[in-house]
Amino acid sequence: MVISKDRKVKDIVNILEKLYPKTPIPLKHKDPFTLLVAVVLSAQCTDERVNQITPILFDSADTPLKMSRLPIAKIEKIIRPCGLSPQKSKAISGLSKIIVNKHNSKVPKNFKDLENLPGVGHKTASVVMSQAFGYPAFPVDTHIHRLAWRWGLSTGKNVEKTEKDLKRLFPESKWNKLHLQIIFYGREYCPARGHNLEVCIICSKFRRKEGFK
């Protein structure tokens, strides 16, 4: 029997709410700017590693103005363990200067201005809008993209299409929390490798004749 998407949505929400009633933001930060920098650093890097590096970086500069005055070479040296340090250091320095000069040292609260900052794409902007400002958003990274396909919620070929599908399926009021719940669930129960139907509550519930990959 094929389970309808509406049924899946209700079951997923119920399961995730029981498993993760509270959703602490994985990246340590103290304000929108430090969150923005942490999200930029998280590209192709684990949250754990980012959380080890940001205290060192923010000890040197934790505001747009201070960061804009920090030499790029110093930023790069500090963030090297996060990978892609040449690109990320230029982006962090550049976005800090723009925030100071164009936005009165305040992280902008809209997608357009955020996505115009160096190193900030739609996913990063969505994280900042949802987690820093409480704006309804559904940040979709490669992990959520993978789970949405695995659970039969989207056949999108890219994260943009998957985001549209998930926004259509789930109530807007749940987007911000659900995004984090899915990330937590994927890490604990539904990994890309070594996926075990006996362990994965959601996949075992939705198991179909063709199975899950």
What residues act catalytically? 123, 141
Question: CA–CA separation, 141 vs 22, rounded Å?
Answer: 21
Q: Are 2 and 163 in contact (CB under 8 A)?
A: no
42, 60, 61, 82, 92 from 70: Cα distances, Å: 20, 8, 7, 18, 10
- Yes or no: say if 78 and 55 are a contact pair by the CB < 8 Å rule: no
Q: What is the largest CA-CA distance in the chain?
A: 61
